[in-house]
Structure 1
Amino acid sequence: MNIIAFKHFSFDDESAITAWAVRQGHTLYVLTPSDLESYPNSDAFDMLVILGGPMSVYEEERYPWLVEEKRFVRRCIDEGKPVLGICLGAQMLSDVLGGTVYRNDRKEIGWHEINRTADRHPSLENLPETFVSYQWHGDTFTLPEGATRLAYSEACGIQAFAYGDNVLALQFHLETTPACIDEMLNTWSSEIVDAPFIQHPSAIVAQADRSKTSHAMLCGILERLATTVGAV
């Protein structure tokens, strides 16, 4: 199976996804939307992963490449391909499905508790009812019509939603590695302020080993989404 991952900033770390793909015998192609002159043909890939980024999906004037990326994502959904959106990717899925993305009144930065809703979805079968994941976001979004809310946190009412069996949006970062966390804390240190849902860097780094558990949860999600290839 061929998988495309959209990467939106240089030090994002897709290694957990790459490791899963290698173990499963899949091929992962990492593309940077801002550098693309054209997007892949539908027959060139089977699954799409949209990673995070520091931009907002509504900043099309500042990042004009967002227009084509969103058009491509919508096409993937319409064609029934499995699509996983993470953070910016989740917000993009809300946007292209008719939801609204906007600035939340509080940022979440650090390791925060997430609760599943009563609604079930096959892709989240391996996740406990309550778990902790890394977060770094200031935007949030509304639930698109026809979507199912799957998770929430104290600071963010929608942490995950599904649109059918093959489209999944995750606001949280199960893919994050300790190295990426260190770089985020260094590069975006100005965002670390005294606020209820922003943890001190020392508290964030002290919990970096949680990434091992996060990667295991992510692998389960990817594996279940992969089973939907060709289902639509």
Structure 2
Amino acid sequence: MKTAIVIRHVLFEDFGILAPLLQEHDFAIRYLEAGLDDLSPAGQADLLIVLGGPIGAFDEDKYPFILDELAVIKHRLSLQKFTLGICLGAQLMARALGAAVAPMQQQEIGFSPLTLTAAGEKSPLLALQNQPVLHWHGDQFTIPQGATLLAASAQCPHQAFSLGDYALALQFHAEADCQRIEQWLIGHAAELAMAGTEPSLLRKQAAENGATLSSACRSLFTQWLSQLPNNATILNR
């Protein structure tokens, strides 16, 4: 089987609705807990996924393990190994590629649609056309040199980028299971209070969008995973 290593920062922010899809594509999934586990196995995995978390991609003074994550991501991308970043993971990818990551004027929390670029409409993100997705971030990345901007939102001009066929960075949470939104509301209660966001609104939006969003995100990742070699030697294994 192929190996997918998932770097996780918060237990309830796992690979969510997309874990079964990886298993269908013959991936064995292994989680590495940021700040606790040795990240060196991530360098050799067929696929690396770096998930979100309530810290900044530039917070290594407070969380030194961020430097270990950046080193692993930078090494993989230099070898064009398949890498997916979501929210904080996308910001770490951008930083590893030399782009800036900085706070936004206000947090973007809630469900709203993306605006795809021309390149985005030719990418797997087309599955999300007109589909509200879950945003939950207060920082944003710039687009790394050589990367392609795929999407924006009303509050954030840089929502996704790709690098060749092997790297995809998503600021939004395409992996989140809306049936488990209550875990997010509890786990990020302090952040919601500071942002002035009512949990009842997110609960309502999750109920309204969960089924269609799950289907759209599954289509997105089915298409992206199809770019990975099947029944052949994995790139730079």
Partner SS state of residue 10, structure 1? coil
- Secondary structure of the 1:140 match is strand
Distance in 2 (alpha carbons) for counterparts of 1:182 and 1:38: 30
Match of 1:151 in 2: 151
Q: Is the 8 A contact 2:17 2:175 kept in 1?
A: yes
Shift of 1:206: 1.2
Q: Is 1:175 matched up with 2:171?
A: no
CA 1:192/1:22 → structure 2, altered by over 3 Å: closer, same or farther?
same
**Contact 1:115–1:131, Cα closer than 8 Å, also in 2:** no
Stretch deviating more after TM superposition (6-15 or 210-219): 210-219
Call closer, same or farther: CA 1:42–1:190 in 2, change over 3 Å.
closer
Find the counterpart in structure 2 of residue 77 from structure 1.
Answer: 77
In structure 2, distance between residues paired with 1:160 and 1:38: 25
Partner of 1:184, secondary structure, is helix
Residue ranges of structure 1 left out of the alignment (5+ in a row):
none
Residue of structure 2 equivalent to 1:4: 5
Does 1:126 find its partner at 2:127?
Answer: yes
The aligned residue for residue 203 of structure 1 is 201
Percent identical across equivalent pairs?
Answer: 31
Task: Tell me if structure 2 keeps the 8 A contact 1:176–1:211.
Answer: no
**Partner AA of 1:89 in structure 2:** G
Residue 216 of structure 1: CA displacement?
2.5
Question: Do the aligned partners of residues 118 and 163 (structure 1) sit closer, same or farther apart at CA in structure 2, a change above 3 Å counting?
Answer: same
Letter in 2 for 1:48: L
Q: Distance in 2 between matches of 1:93 and 1:204?
A: 28
Q: Is residue 2:222 matched to residue 1:223?
A: yes
Residue 162 of structure 1 is matched in structure 2 by: 162
Instruction: Normalising by structure 1, report the TM-score.
Output: 0.89
Name the residue aligned to 1:24: 25
SS at structure 2 position matched to 1:207? helix
The amino acid that maps onto 2:204 is A
Structure 2: distance between partners of 1:222 and 1:20: 8
The separation in 1 between residues aligned to 2:184 and 2:39, in whole angstroms, is: 29
Q: Report if the CA contact (8 A) 1:12-1:180 is conserved.
A: no
- Corresponding residue number in structure 2 for 1:141: 141
In 2, distance between residues paired with 1:41 and 1:114?
A: 30
Q: What CA deviation, in whole Å up to 9, does each residue of 1:11-51 have, x standing for no partner?
A: 213231221122223211111121123511744x2111111
Mapped contact 1:126–1:220 kept (Cα < 8 A): yes
Counterpart code for 2:205: Q
Q: Return closer, same or farther for 1:123/1:83 CA change in 2, 3 Å cut-off.
A: farther
Question: 1:5 & 1:159 partners in 2: Cα distance?
Answer: 21
- Report the 3-state secondary structure (helix = DSSP H, G, I; strand = E; otherwise coil) of the residue aligned with 2:99: coil
221 and 231 in structure 1: CA distance in 2 versus 1, 3 angstrom threshold: farther
Q: Match of 2:67?
A: 67
**Match for 1:163: what amino acid?**
L
Question: How many residues in Structure 1 have an aligned counterpart in Structure 2?
Answer: 228
State the SS of the aligned residue for 1:124. helix
Which deviates more, 216-225 or 48-57? 216-225
Q: Could you report, residue by residue, the CA deviation over 1:88-124 in whole angstroms, capped at 9, with x for unpaired residues?
A: 0111111001110000001111112211111244332
5+ residue gaps, structure 2, are: none
Q: TM-score, normalised by structure 2?
A: 0.87
